[in-house]
Chain A
Amino acid sequence: EAQVTQNPRYLITVTGKKLTVTCSQNMNHEYMSWYRQDPGLGLRQIYYSMNVEVTDKGDVPEGYKVSRKEKRNFPLILESPSPNQTSLYFCASSYGGVPYFGPGTRLTVT
């Protein structure tokens, strides 16, 4: 089954403790991206990747890092999480057409 998976689905952490949210797709898509969703602000793109080793900033990249060492995986890294990064995060992948979204990761930073 074609899908985008994210882990963990829920995470509560403390300020400053590094964390990684994984994203994996089994559709051999070249393009992957990360979004965050906040009440009243809709979905905003954090980072995207056009292919392996090719990444670029989206609209709200501050405080986040990404890497794309292999086509199927696109982890989102928070080196020093802060409470303003409490949000619902979605990974998406696509190839020149339809972006497919993962199930989401709800992150709470206290």
Chain B
Amino acid sequence: DAKTTQPPSMDCAEGRAANLPCNHSTISGNEYVYWYRQIHSQGPQYIIHGLKNNETNEMASLIITEDRKSSTLILPHATLRDTAVYYCIAYFAYSGAGSYQLTFGKGTKLSVIP
């Protein structure tokens, strides 16, 4: 799996958009970009994933650059409950037999400030 690079920490004011960057310059054509977050010591929570098109769901938006070398996770209106470590993972998920292992890096610790 491609290595990803994220800033170790970020702050965001409550109510503002949180934009979390991720660099994955060595990503291969069949690797998706997945985002998870971990609140304190809870199980990692899936947020969103995408291959090359931008994606949006009820939690967040994912913007992937055209060359797929980087992406940004956007939490549109950050709340205190969004304070967590956010992981960006380049992941090859193949259908049928199942998915390959996730490789978690150190992630970005997002602190949402009142």
Contacts and interface: CB of A to CB of B under 8 A. Distances in A.
A33 B44 CA distance: 13
A98 B49 contact: yes
Chain B interface secondary structure, helix, strand, loop or mixed?
loop
Contacts of A106: 41
B97 A30 contact: yes
Interface residues of A, number: 28
Interface in A34-52: 37, 42-43, 45, 48, 50-51
Interface string B72-114: 0000000000000000000001111111011011100000000
Contacts of A103: 42-43
Contacts of B99: 31, 94-97, 99
Contact of B98 (A37, A51, A58): A51
A94 B105 CA distance: 20
Contact of A104 (B43, B95, B97, B101): B43
Indicate the size class of the contact surface on chain B: 20 to 34
Given A42-B105, A42-B106, A101 B43 contact: yes
Contacts of A74: none
A81 interface: no
Contacts of A64: none
Nearest to B47: A98
A90 B93 CA distance: 20
A97 B42 contact: no
9 contacts: A42-B106, A48-B101, A51-B98, A94-B98, A96-B99, A101-B44, A102-B43, A103-B42, A104-B42
